């Protein structure tokens, strides 16, 4: 029974991060489409340019010097993650908070590191290339593939995942992304 609870706590931590991340991206992209200027977005209509042309990084930095690899810096996400862990521990018992927090944090770090990798490398090998391609659709469309790697399930459930190579290429072409 303890192993079952441990597994449920891990699943809850993953679920809290991946669903929150997916919904947060949807909200943020909606605000970007409107060109809103807030503390987390400063009116840009594009979400983190694709860094697949290294010679353009100076231009991109000059055009938007605040552009970051993550929407919210760690000093914002970290305390928020702690609040989720404390709330989970308070609701389900303090021993459950540790596996919840570990899964939440691991999912967050995995997504962050892969996001950086997706932008720094022109082409990744194997399954990472597939995720990188799907991530580029996310940047090109602002209404598909919000998932990163840990939250693919939510895009499937919310019907915003695009997998078909022809549809991926059509969306990228429509948005002017190579």
> Measured between alpha carbons, how far is residue 73 from residues 23, 26, 54, 108, 173 in Å?
17, 18, 23, 12, 31
pLDDT band at 50 (very low <50, low <70, confident <90, very high): very low
80 versus 170: which is more confidently predicted? 80
> Measured between alpha carbons, how far is residue 72 from residues 3, 19, 39, 93, 103 in Å?
34, 16, 9, 29, 19
pTM of the model: 0.74
Look at residue 70 and tell me whether its pLDDT is greater than 50: no
**Cβ–Cβ < 8 Å for 122, 33:** no
pLDDT band at 59 (very low <50, low <70, confident <90, very high): low
pLDDT band at 43 (very low <50, low <70, confident <90, very high): low
| pLDDT for residue 25 | 78
| pLDDT for residue 84 | 92
pLDDT (tens digit per residue) in 95-154? 999 999 999 999 988 887 888 788 778 789 999 988 888 887 777 666 777 666 778 888
**Cβ–Cβ < 8 Å for 122, 54:** no
């Amino acid at each position: 029974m303890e192993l079952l609870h441990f597994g449920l706590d891990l699943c809850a931590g993953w679920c809290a991060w991946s669903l929150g991340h997916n919904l947060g991206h949807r909200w943020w992209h909606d605000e970007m489409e409107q060109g809103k200027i807030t503390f987390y977005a400063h009116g840009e209509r594009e979400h983190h340019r694709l860094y697949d042309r290294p010679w353009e990084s100076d231009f991109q930095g000059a055009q938007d010097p605040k552009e970051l690899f993550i929407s919210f810096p760690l000093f914002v996400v970290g305390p928020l993650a702690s609040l989720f862990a404390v709330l989970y521990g308070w609701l389900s018992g303090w021993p459950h908070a540790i596996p919840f927090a570990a899964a939440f944090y691991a999912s967050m770090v995995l997504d962050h590191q892969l996001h950086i990798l997706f932008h720094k490398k022109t082409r990744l090998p194997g399954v990472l290339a597939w995720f990188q391609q799907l991530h580029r659709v996310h940047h090109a469309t602002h209404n598909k593939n919000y998932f990163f790697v840990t939250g693919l399930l939510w895009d499937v459930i919310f019907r915003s995942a695009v997998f078909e190579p022809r549809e991926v290429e059509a969306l990228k072409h429509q948005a002017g992304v190579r």
